[in-house]
Amino acid sequence: MTDVLARQFTNENAAIAHVEASRWPDDVTCPLCGSLSVHRMGGQTQAGYFLCNDCRDKFTCRTGTVMERSHIPIHKWLLAIHLLSASKKGMSAHQLHRMLGVTYKSAWFLAHRIREAMKDDKPTPLGGEGKSVQADETYYGNTSKRAKGYKKGHRHKEQIVALIEPKGKARVVHVKTATAVKVREILVINAHRSSELHTDESPLYTKVGREFAAHKTVEHGTHGAEGFYVGKDGQTTNAVENFFGIFKRGMVGTYHKCEAQHLQRYLTEFEFRFNHRAGLGVNDKMRAETLLKAIEGKRLTYRRPDKTQEQEATR
């Protein structure tokens, strides 16, 4: 694990050099026009700036990344990226606010921008011939004992559908209500139909199951009947159950609650760590490096409907 006292986390020039080396391992490319004809600007006030000889625009290592238009020093961004990559259950904006010495609001937006970078923007379907994909759904929200009666019950919860290729990657999607139509759409987009589909006996999967190479179900047991975790052919949804377990413990322990509109961002965060987990040979340093490379090209997809809050975050 990289020491949190490493120079790129404490010294701004070291941080800029670190991001530049990550972003441009060979030649510096103008992020605005793609030209290789660029030069580093001199002088104290121009530190970190490049000038493009083709489009004549100035840019820095922040340009075209989730860090653009943020006034938070880059070494704090790097530390936040490191902490969010390495913490199994995530890190709350309150904790980031204290650890980074930035306002709570800045920490909140910084964390959400990092989650934006965690988004897999070139997702490939899971599974394939000779492989299996597990699918399951769960409810999220209003599980607090303090929630009053009228807010309780599945009707007032959000749903999460997760697909996992055992010993492989996960794809996790927030849906308002998991219907057979919605679940089918998620499955056919995110999993190869040449895979074997493993689910519980929920009728959500009955019809779409026929589109897959095979569909095996495991009896989880309902109405007090004894259930099983592994079917007679070895089919199971244990990997998905485990993912939901990590996610829910993280949400309870770290984030406490999250509004429906942000649920997908937190799912993306847990999915990112899962897909770059130690079990797949990825250590904390590699995970943070992967995330740092993913900060590019994401900023444009990040739009907050509330402009005033957005401006708040860049202060």
For Zn ion, the binding residues (CB under 5 A) are 30, 32-33, 35, 52, 54-55
Query: d(Cα 254, Cα 170) in Å, to the nearest integer?
Result: 21
Residue 33 or residue 282: which is nearer to Zn ion going by CB?
33
Residue 52 or residue 96: which is nearer to Zn ion going by CB?
52
Residue 53 or residue 124: which is nearer to Zn ion going by CB?
53
Residue 36 C-beta: closest distance to Zn ion, Å: 9
Residue 50 or residue 270: which is nearer to Zn ion going by CB?
50
Residue 29 C-beta: closest distance to Zn ion, Å: 9
Residue 33 C-beta: closest distance to Zn ion, Å: 3
By CB neighbour count within 10 A (0-12 exposed, 13-18 middle, 19+ buried), where does 288 fall?
Answer: buried
Residue 18 C-beta: closest distance to Zn ion, Å: 23
Residue 50 C-beta: closest distance to Zn ion, Å: 9
The size of the chain, in residues, is 315
Residue 50 or residue 272: which is nearer to Zn ion going by CB?
50
Residue 39 C-beta: closest distance to Zn ion, Å: 11
Residue 30 or residue 187: which is nearer to Zn ion going by CB?
30
Residue 59 C-beta: closest distance to Zn ion, Å: 7
Residue 32 or residue 258: which is nearer to Zn ion going by CB?
32
Structure-block tokens of residue 148: 């009053």
Place of tokens 């007679």: 232
